[in-house]
Amino acid sequence: MERYKTFKDFYPYYLSEHDNKHTKLMHFIGTSIGIFFLIKFFLSFNFIYLLFALISGYAFAWVGHFFIEKNKPATFKYPFYSFIGDHKMYIEILQGKHKIF
């Protein structure tokens, strides 16, 4: 597998690993719940909400990859770029650039 040196080069690969709209939906749900818990953390400074944010975000995404897309999450090889890619894709879903329904 190619090693990506920039996020710009990585993002097309990231999107190719999310061909199925249901995988994107799982990411969208997980990221939405993660954002909810992140807001709860900043309102309470209870660190358990940071843990919940990470678990919810990754759990939904990984279920989408293993059971729907049937591939390995890019997070395993590119954790930082994948985290950024997930949030960029989330924004693009909100903008209507990716269909999830």
pLDDT by residue (tens digit) across 46-84?
Answer: 999 999 999 999 999 999 999 999 999 999 999 999 999
Can you give the pLDDT at residue 1?
A: 57
Burial 78-90 (b: 16+ CB within 10 A, else e): beebbeebbeebb
Residues 4, 7: Cα–Cα separation, whole Å: 7
Judging by beta carbons within 10 Å of its beta carbon (0-12, 13-18, 19+), is residue 3 exposed, middle or buried?
exposed
Exposed/middle/buried for 20, CB within 10 Å: 0-12, 13-18, 19+? middle
φ/ψ (deg, to 5) at 8:
-60, -40
- Residue 43 reports pLDDT greater than 60: yes
pLDDT digits (tens, 9 = 90+) for 20-31: 999 999 999 999
pTM score of the predicted model:
0.93
Query: Could you state, in order of their start, the residue ranges of all structural domains in the chain?
Result: 21-94
